[in-house]
Amino acid sequence: MIARRGFKQINISNSVRCYATRQSSATTGDEPDPQLGGYPQFVPQKAQEKNPYNKYWDQQGRTNFGDLLHEDEDVLGVHAPDVHQYSYAESAKSILYTIIAFSAFGYLASAMVPQRNVAPRDYPRDGLKDELSGVDENKAREYTPLEE
């Protein structure tokens, strides 16, 4: 009980972090980044989120001539990974619908196959073992006479 109260008082999420993560998020423009060397800091905006119907000098990259690029333009450009506009629940629901659709199609396809109207073929003399060179791999179904 005391340990729980102690954890509530201490903000663990700010005190524990991976050694390779930044403490503050850059690109907010609050404090200058010393590695940029005077280059302006912009708010990150993916190129896919820009209006595709505006007239741009570079229509594919959605930039105009003379525009200053963001320092992470390779991550924010058109050729970067896509911007996902779906939640995990919507994605899981669509995958579930796809699985249900394929299963229903497979069931309907197997249900529409007609039953065989004939009996399977039987061969006499130990399944034509001598005629098929006597190898067990070539052995067909053995002959079983019908009981009368």
pLDDT tens per residue, range 72-130:
777 777 777 777 788 899 999 999 999 999 999 999 999 999 888 888 777 777 666 66
Q: What is the pTM of this model?
A: 0.40
Using the predicted structure, report yes or no on whether residue 43 has a pLDDT greater than 80.
yes
124: β partners? none
Q: What is the pLDDT of residue 16?
A: 56
The answer to whether 92 and 100 have CB atoms below 8 angstroms apart is no
**CA dist., res. 128 & res. 143, Å (int):** 9
What number of other Cβ atoms are within 10 A of residue 27's Cβ? 13
For the record, the structure tokens of 12 come out as 């663990």
Q: What is the pLDDT of residue 38?
A: 80
Helices (H), the chain: 2-9, 12-15, 73-76, 88-111, 124-128
